Structure 1
């Protein structure tokens, strides 16, 4: 029952993250620009952290859950529950956006793409940005290094920061769940490039977990 409650919280949180974040890009992107989109993703994380985060920790991202697993802050079965829940939540968010975007006459679902850069550069961008994002998360949520009252705000601002760099380059994933649903529902090039937006964040998350574990003592 406890795992189910955490998984349900992750479904809800990831639904909100993907729906608000990608909707801001698809429906309001021209009006709010890159800063507005970045803030939409970041503020959603803040809201999630102080609501469903009280149940599941508000990972909303397989790369984050993977880092927590490496740091022994999630069991193997919890990790599986979290990732499945995050993917389900992302699909629900993308389905909701698809309905609204169709009625609005908007195109796309906010799928990630390489914007005039090579595959290698795109991989590097996503791995570095995920490393920064996840390293902050494993640190500020640590019992020894963290600050529970400020963690949600710090994490949300960090996600905003990495989006400001990543949006012009890759659309910013740093989150396999956020990439899988829009890509599969869009088809075409986003599907062909999807492997990068799954693998690079996981690599970045792994490196962040190891740095946190062995340098910053975040394994608790």
Structure 2
């Protein structure tokens, strides 16, 4: 009959350690990548098929996925405006803003680059109008400058 030592049979306790800065920045990068790929990808590649509601749902669902997956690590900002807003409200340290924003920009740039490659391979791709914004005759729905500003 073997007797296990108490340390061998003790149940492990969960770690309450704070994620490293690298882990936080990586999570923001990946979360932003997922948000841009899912949301913007739906708007660019399937927007005419799923409509405004489908695009809104795609953005909302990708935010939920990102928040559940990375929220415990980073707080789930995934957008420089959110990061700046939280810092301005005193709910996020200003010293961490630059790293988060850089990670978010890199994640968004990587996802949009991937979307560009994907959309460029489509026979109906028009690179001149790829996710274009504008007003007047350059607006997808003909909105004037005042409407765009408001």
- Using the size of structure 2 for normalisation, the TM-score is 0.74
Asked whether 1:58 is paired with 2:79, we answer no
In 1, Cα distance between equivalents of 2:77 and 2:133: 20
Aligned residue in 2 for 1:180: none
Give distance in 2, aligned partners of 1:45 and 1:86. 14
Q: Distance in 2 between matches of 1:111 and 1:11?
A: 24
Within the alignment, does 1:110 sit opposite 2:128 as a pair?
no
Task: Check whether the contact 1:10–1:52 (CA below 8 A) recurs between aligned residues.
Answer: yes
Q: Please, what is the CA RMSD of the aligned residues? A: 1.8
Deviation at 1:58, TM superposition (A): 1.1
- Structure 1's consecutive aligned runs of 4 or more residues displaced over 4 angstroms after TM superposition are none
Q: How does 1:6-17 map to 2 (within 5 A)?
A: 6-17=24-35
Check the 8 A contact 1:62/1:83 in 2, yes or no: yes
Task: Report the CA distance between 1:77 and its aligned residue.
Answer: 2.0
For the residues of structure 1 that align with 2:109 and 2:133, how far apart are their CA atoms? 15
Which protein is richer in helix relative to its size? 1
- DSSP 3-state at the match of 2:112: helix
Query: Matched residues in 2 for 1:99 and 1:19: separation?
Result: 12
Deviations 1:57-80 (A, max 9, x none): 111111111111011121122111
Q: Which moved more, 1:103-112 or 1:84-93?
A: 103-112
TM-score scaled by length of structure 1: 0.52
Q: Where in structure 2 are there 5+ consecutive unaligned residues? A: 1-18
Which structure would you say has the larger Rg? 2
